[in-house]
């Protein structure tokens, strides 16, 4: 398909007389869970074409939509960041438990004690590695993707507001 990508999972086809000309009109409407930027664009263009909304009211509507989108897209990175923040603490708990186990074998041979202390230190290392080597970079990457999408949506907003204000195409 060379045109707009769509599927029955992400879009709904609505047929009816929407403009009162006694002919059937077809609307391809995005549904929840699909491309949120595409839904923002489609919803805003639908409001503009329906008319009756002043540009300043349209801007307030778009700002509310953008704020909701930003809150939704910030959740995954925030959760991953919190899990990453907890991992070093989990590593410290593993170290303390390893030392407690070591204290139970304190009268044993030095090789056994060394093995148990080493296991305790591995718990600390794994907690730090999983936090700073996996969860935090993943959370930062998701946050960067969310911020890039937000900048793209703000650019769409500026263009759509210019279009709604009847700005010349070169300015819009």
Alpha-helical runs (H) found in 105-135:
110-130
Does residue 70 carry a pLDDT above 70?
yes
Residue 85 burial (CB count, 10 A): 13
Does residue 2 carry a pLDDT above 50?
yes
Range in 10-14, 104-108, 114-118, 139-143 with the lowest mean pLDDT: 10-14
Does residue 15 carry a pLDDT above 80?
no
pLDDT digits (tens, 9 = 90+) for 80-125: 999 999 999 999 999 999 999 989 888 889 888 899 899 889 989 9
**Tokens standing for residue 157:** 């907003």
Tokens 């699909």 -> residue: 34
Whole-model pTM: value is: 0.68
Confidence of residue 126 (pLDDT cuts 50, 70, 90): very high
Does residue 142 carry a pLDDT above 50?
yes
Return all residues near 32 (Cβ < 8 A) that are at least 6 apart: none
Confidence of residue 32 (pLDDT cuts 50, 70, 90): low
Alpha-helical runs (H) found in the chain:
36-50, 55-104, 110-130, 136-164
Q: What is the pLDDT of residue 137?
A: 95
Does residue 1 carry a pLDDT above 50?
no
Mean pLDDT over the full length of the chain: 84
């Amino acid at each position: 398909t060379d045109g707009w990508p769509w599927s029955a999972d992400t879009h709904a086809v609505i047929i009816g007389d929407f403009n009162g000309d006694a002919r059937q009109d077809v609307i391809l409407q995005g549904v929840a869970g699909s491309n949120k930027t595409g839904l923002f664009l489609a919803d805003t263009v639908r409001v503009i074409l329906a008319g009756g909304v002043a540009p300043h009211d349209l801007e307030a509507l778009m700002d509310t939509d953008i704020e909701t989108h930003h809150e939704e897209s910030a959740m995954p990175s925030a959760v991953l960041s919190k899990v990453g923040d907890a991992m070093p603490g989990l590593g410290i708990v593993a170290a303390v438990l390893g030392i407690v186990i070591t204290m139970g074998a304190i009268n044993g041979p030095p090789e056994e004690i060394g093995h148990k202390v080493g296991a305790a230190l591995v718990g600390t290392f794994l907690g730090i590695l999983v936090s700073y080597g996996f969860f935090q970079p993943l959370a930062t990457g998701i946050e960067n993707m969310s911020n890039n999408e937000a900048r793209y949506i703000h650019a769409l907003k500026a263009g759509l507001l210019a279009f709604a204000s009847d700005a010349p195409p070169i300015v819009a």
